[in-house]
Structure 1
Amino acid sequence: MKKAILFFATFFLIGSAVAQSTESTNGPEITFEESNHDFGDITQGDVVEHIFKFENTGKQPLIISNVKTTCGCTVPSFPKGEAIAPGEKGEITVKFNSRGKMGRQNKIVRIVSNIGEERSVRITTNVLPKDS
């Protein structure tokens, strides 16, 4: 009896893994031209912006439902809820406001979509003091 249960449990786990593998290769996929951008040195109070370009390299439409940041100083703009067909390109714009910041800044922007797992891009900069 234990062998039969073990056999069916193993069969179920292998079947689930194959189904997930097939789903991920047949579903949408987001591929960024670059996943990191360094603004270099900026002056405290500067607002900088970068556009992360991507392509849906999968086989199903890509839908971005949310883009999350960890700080109010970083604001994303993205094609919310729009279906991006396989082979189509899109953009996520990230603005960073350095007001009240000093030194090295590292901000991660997480992308929530119908891929099934979050992807992320990163911006970095070094904030220098304002000349008085």
Structure 2
Amino acid sequence: MKNLVAILFLGLLSLGLNAQEKVAKIEFKTDVIDYGTIEKGANGVRVFEFTNTGNAPLIISSVKSTCGCTVPKKPEGPIMPGEKGEIEVKYDTNRVNPIRKTITVVSNAETPTVALKIKGLVVDPDKQSVLEKKPKSSVEQ
């Protein structure tokens, strides 16, 4: 009887350990995208690439930005172990200013919340900086 109880206990313990081993892991190629200096109205779409390095399906439940000027798009279905996925981010480049935004990714991964960042500068080529020297016209000479 003792042997039967011991075998059942070990069996339940090994089942519990096996269940805990199945976990999704999200690994991003980079967690920061630098737009650099881009012109007003330029293409504001960039992509964060990731891989599910775990051994369970990865399900991204939400992807949110810190403001309405940045629109993230998450994958619809689960990402199977070893597969790659993308999170597309579109920044409104009609806003002339520095870019400093955070995109929060929530999933069933071992690390359930990941912060991604975009940065850069949107400039208007039609407006000249007050710091730049203007060429002298023939009237001023």
TM (norm. structure 2) is 0.69
Offset, 1:98: 2.4
- Return the alpha-carbon distance in structure 2 between the equivalents of residues 106 and 31 of structure 1: 22
- Return the alpha-carbon distance in structure 2 between the equivalents of residues 87 and 45 of structure 1: 37
2:88 matches 1:93: yes
2:105 matches 1:119: no
Offset, 1:101: 3.6
Offset, 1:130: 4.1
Pairing partner for 1:78 from 74, 78, 84: 74
RMSD across aligned positions (CA) = 2.0
Can you give the 5+ residue segments of structure 1 that lack an aligned partner in the other structure?
1-18
Counterpart residue number, 2:57: 61
- Return the alpha-carbon distance in structure 2 between the equivalents of residues 60 and 93 of structure 1: 23
- Return the alpha-carbon distance in structure 2 between the equivalents of residues 69 and 124 of structure 1: 13
2:63–2:74: 8 Å Cα contact kept in structure 1?
yes
TM (norm. structure 1) is 0.73
2:108 matches 1:129: no
Instruction: Look up the SS of the partner of 1:76 in the other structure.
Output: strand
**Alpha carbons of structure 1 residues 71 and 101: separation in structure 2 relative to 1, 3 Å:** farther
Aligned residue pair count: 109
Residues 60-113 of structure 1: CA deviation (Å, up to 9, x unaligned)? 100011100011111111213x111110111111111122341x2111111111
The structure whose Rg is larger is 2
- Return the alpha-carbon distance in structure 2 between the equivalents of residues 100 and 126 of structure 1: 10
Can you give the 5+ residue segments of structure 2 that lack an aligned partner in the other structure?
1-15, 128-141
Q: By percentage of residues, which structure has more strand? A: 1
Pairing partner for 1:105 from 81, 88, 99: 99
Counterpart residue number, 2:136: none
> Which structure 1 residue ranges, 4+ long, deviate > 6 Å from structure 2?
none
